[in-house]
Structure 1
Amino acid sequence: MNKKYISLAVNGGIGFGSWLKPKQLIALGDYLEEDAEIELTTLQQLIVKIPENELENAKEKFDEVGLHYYKVGNYVKSLRTCNFCKGEVEEGLPVAKELNKRIAGQKVPFTLRPAYTGCPIGCGEPLVNDIGVLKKKEHYQLYIGGQAKGYNAKVGELFADELQPEELYNLVDKILDVYRENGGKREKFSRFVNRFGIENIKKEVM
């Protein structure tokens, strides 16, 4: 009988850079077969395949060692971030953590990549991801519709400026709702933004 595997996207969570601890790597090794292949993605994630009959035990162990895990497929990916070089308060790390907690794993028509950066240098590349957040002094800017790859690569458009954290969370939630309700099957978010239109999205969420 063939063994069934479940794919998970795994990382060390939102923090000061993309780090994994030895105990986290050991925990991963406990649930991976000797010849298993691990994919390292551009989204600061490891894609691993866990035997289905060991999945719940693996999740419990991952929780114990601080590994974060997400569904693989047409979901909102975990937040791509910068390295928070100036510290937690100044760079807005708590806001990044909360935003990731709220949106990562939500079902959407097609894989959606959000990004966050704590200053205008933009190390987290928010302007070329589907949804991008940039901290500017004490407020937040929200960009949508960016695309990093292909002939149609482009910078996202500024959707809202001078947002407080709660305004940011609520606005992103509403944008995802509009995408779910109006996006076509397997329609990329950037294509949806082009087709549906920025102004129509604003009408829906405002």
Structure 2
Amino acid sequence: MSDKKIKIAVNGGIKFGAKLTAKQLIVLAKYLEEGEELELTTFQQLYIEIPEERKTEIIAEFEEAGLSCYPVGNYVKSLRTCNFCKGAEEEGMPVAIELNKRIAGKHVPFTLKPAYTGCPIGCGEPMINDIGVMKIKDSYSLYVGGKSKGKDAEAGILLMEQLTPDELYQAIDKIINLYNEQGKKREAFHKFVKRFGADELLASINQ
């Protein structure tokens, strides 16, 4: 019997704040041996190692407890969000949930971090992540190419604005597909945006 372990990412899903319930903590603790630790990432995820041969069973158990599970590696991360402090509908929580469902876990040339915020205050930090969404009144602005780390950290480019939810989903789907098709192996997304060009990226989306 194999005792090989694999690492997965988990969180409590998209809701008011990055929170976990007692039930969720208990089910996670079942798979921690004495001395083992959970790794908390800057992207509202926990990394936990589980037995590979029981992956499907354990993920089902986590999801039954209300946890969301994602692969670790060169994939689109789960959507980093704000705390929806003004309310789920006003700040577009249903749109954030749908966007996360559509893109999280997609394979990409290099780990891609998307972020969402429900108002211009920007608590979800959309402007310094790879793909950022900001809800402004009843529409959405889309930023690309932000970089949060390093001495060359910079804000992303405002690529599109006044988008409807469907226009937002379609634009981000096209951007990720283009990154998969044209991105080089292990090419960070902000480097891809600079190499490909924001104007060319916009033209490709609008084709």
TM-score when normalising by structure 2? 0.97
Number of residue pairs aligned between Structure 1 and Structure 2: 206
| CA distance in 1: counterparts of 2:2 and 2:97, whole angstroms | 39
Checking the alignment, whether the CA contact within 8 Å between 1:13 and 1:67 is kept in structure 2 is yes
Measured in 2, the distance between the counterparts of 1:2 and 1:102 equals 33
Q: Which runs of 5+ in 2 are unaligned?
A: none
Report 1:1-206 matches (<5 A).
3-206=3-206
Instruction: Please give the alpha-carbon distance, in whole angstroms, between the structure 2 residues aligned to 1:118 and 1:34.
Output: 40
Fraction of identical pairs, as percent: 59
Question: In structure 2, what is the Cα distance between the partners aligned to 1:56 and 1:145?
Answer: 34
Moved >2 Å (runs of 4+): none
- Provide TM-score, normalisation by structure 1: 0.98
Question: 1:21-51, CA deviations, whole angstroms, 9 ceiling, x for partnerless residues?
Answer: 0000111111222222211000000001001
| Alpha carbons 2:129, 2:144 under 8 Å: kept | yes
Whether the 8 Å contact between 2:2 and 2:53 is mirrored in structure 1 is no
8 Å contact kept, 1:31–1:58: no
* 8 Å Cα contact 2:133/2:143 also seen in 1: yes
How far apart are the structure 2 equivalents of 1:177 and 1:12? 27
Asked whether the equivalents of residues 11 and 69 of structure 2 are also in contact (C-alpha less than 8 Å), the reply is yes
CA distance in 2, matches of 1:119, 1:81: 11
State the superposition RMSD in angstroms: 1.0
| Offset, 1:204 | 1.4
Partner of 2:63, secondary structure, is helix
CA contact (8 A) 1:127 1:155 kept: yes
- Report the alpha carbon displacement of residue 125 of structure 1 after superposing the two structures with TM: 0.3
Q: Which amino acid aligns with 1:189?
A: F
In 2, Cα distance between equivalents of 1:89 and 1:22: 27
